[in-house]
Homo-oligomer: A and B are copies of this chain.
């Protein structure tokens, strides 16, 4: 196995449940390669080398290159989905729910920006069935944000002209972090999350001046 990036070391801990060891190493090597070069520009030989295996070693644990992408994408969506639901049950105040959601989602995208980039950008290269499954998860997440906006608007706390469009814009903020974030960025993941949560609340809050 080649030397590890900071991200890979973090994933090594976060993905302990992926067994056996070589299967996890393959998944992590695939994340790094897909993030750096894109799904199609990555060869199965790149992935195998990254995990310290021969080219054929990949197929002991995964049926295809696409399956590696699918596993990564699924785990990523499960983690962000859990995180978003946690934000909505942590409070009954829409403003507090939205603040937690944007803060935690944004800092997750920054902290795991390598994984997140794969999760957000390589989606289209999944097989049709896998893509359909993931698209459903994404629609759920979008719905979660929309519901917060609806409740907040009904309570007069928010002032939102178009709920679906605003929900999309709020998620865009967090998603787009993966396009530019790098560990050397001005803000660490937590500070960035807080900053973005402030911006999000400004975007939807009622009681603005004329």
Interface residues of A (CB under 8 A from B): 38-41, 120-121, 124-125, 161-162, 164-166, 168-169, 172-173, 175-177, 179-180, 186-187, 192, 195-196, 198-199, 202-203, 205, 207-209
Given known contacts A38-B38, A207-B209, A186 and B173 CB-to-CB distance under 8 angstroms = no
Specify which chain B residues have a CB less than 8 angstroms from the CB of A203 in the assembled complex.
199, 202-203
Given known contacts A172-B172, A175-B179, A179-B175, A165 and B195 CB-to-CB distance under 8 angstroms = yes
Q: Which residue of B lies closest to A171 (CB)?
A: B176
- Tell which of B165, B177, B208 touches A202, judged by Cβ atoms closer than 8 Å: B208
Specify which chain B residues have a CB less than 8 angstroms from the CB of A177 in the assembled complex.
172
Q: Which residue of B lies closest to A38 (CB)?
A: B40
Measured CA separation A72–B155 after assembly (Å): 48
- Tell which of B164, B169, B175 touches A196, judged by Cβ atoms closer than 8 Å: B169
Beta-carbon contact of B199 and A166 below 8 Å: yes
Beta-carbon contact of B165 and A176 below 8 Å: no
Measured CA separation A124–B140 after assembly (Å): 31
Q: Which residue of B lies closest to A159 (CB)?
A: B202
Measured CA separation A192–B177 after assembly (Å): 21
Beta-carbon contact of A162 and B195 below 8 Å: yes
New A-B contacts (18) at CB < 8 Å, excluding given A38-B125, A41-B125: A38-B38, A38-B40, A120-B179, A121-B121, A162-B187, A164-B186, A165-B192, A169-B173, A169-B196, A169-B199, A172-B172, A172-B176, A172-B180, A173-B173, A173-B176, A175-B179, A176-B176, A209-B209
